[in-house]
Amino acid sequence: MSKTTYSDGRDSQTESFEARRIRHNGEKKPEDNQKKGWAAEAGSMLLYIIVAVIIFLLIRHFLFVPVSVDGESMYPTLHNQDRLILNKIEKTERFDLIVFPAPDDPGKQYIKRVIGVPGDEIMVTDDQLYVNGEAVKEPYLDEAKANLAPGEVLTDNFTLASVTGMEKVPKGSYFVMGDNRTNSKDSRSFGFVDAATVTGTTDIRIWPLKDFGMVNH
């Protein structure tokens, strides 16, 4: 009886041990789980980066683009080497700042202010801008006018007909001028700007940092 009891007990212990050993071998090691966790996290992070880059490139190409000012034709509103954000989707309106291929040098881009939109009659008399027969204030010129010598004018007299040969701004075109009226190549010399060629409008300056923000219109 004692031998049978002993033999049954040892067999029972062996079976129990084998069962535990089999269950242990079937489980994954904690190190394996950690490795897979890190791999999954790294894969997700890479995917996020790729998506972010694609979104950035789409926005840059279709919506917003950084542009740099070259020259002083928009002084004092803009300065040489200022950096701005170009908005490609905003509708162009009178007095907006726009970027477009230079009509006299297609390899360049100009930044000028829209003075006349389709249908407008434009003239300047005694340094006063008239649009459709009404005097229009140009606060963006106040600083430049304050620095003029006695008897000096910022914008010479002209009519739309005298500089373009047309009484009104034609459909699909803009009449533009630089804020630095005494030193700006604009519609007074190269004529109207085709609206279809306008790259976009700009009114946000991002550099230099001390001037960061909306451009003073």
Going from the first residue of the chain to its last (217 residues), give the mean pLDDT of each consecutive group of 10, the final group possibly shorter: 43 46 52 65 74 54 74 94 90 95 88 98 97 96 92 95 97 97 95 95 91 81
By three-state DSSP, how is residue 105 classified? Answer: strand
Provide the pLDDT for residue 2. Answer: 41
CA distance 157 to 149: 17
Provide the pLDDT for residue 73. Answer: 95
Provide the pLDDT for residue 26. Answer: 52
Residue with tokens 């009178």: 94
Residue with tokens 């791999």: 39
Task: Give, as one character, the DSSP assignment of residue 158.
Answer: E
pTM higher than 0.85, yes or no?
Answer: no
Provide the pLDDT for residue 9. Answer: 45
Catalytic residue among 16, 88, 91, 112: 112
Residue 149 phi/psi, 5-degree rounding, is -75, 155
Exposed / middle / buried, residue 102 (Cβ in 10 Å: 0-12, 13-18, 19+): middle
Would residue 112 show up in a list of annotated catalytic residues for this protein?
yes
CA distance 13 to 109: 88
Answer yes or no: are the C-beta atoms of 131 and 121 closer than 8 Å. yes
Residue with tokens 């010598």: 149
Provide the pLDDT for residue 22. Answer: 46
Provide the sign of the torsion angle of the four alpha carbons 45, 51, 53, 55, taken in this order.
negative
Catalytic residue among 16, 28, 35, 73: 73
Beta bridge mates, 55? none
CA distance 67 to 203: 11
| Distances from the Cα of 144 to the Cα of 32, 71, 149, angstroms | 71, 16, 11
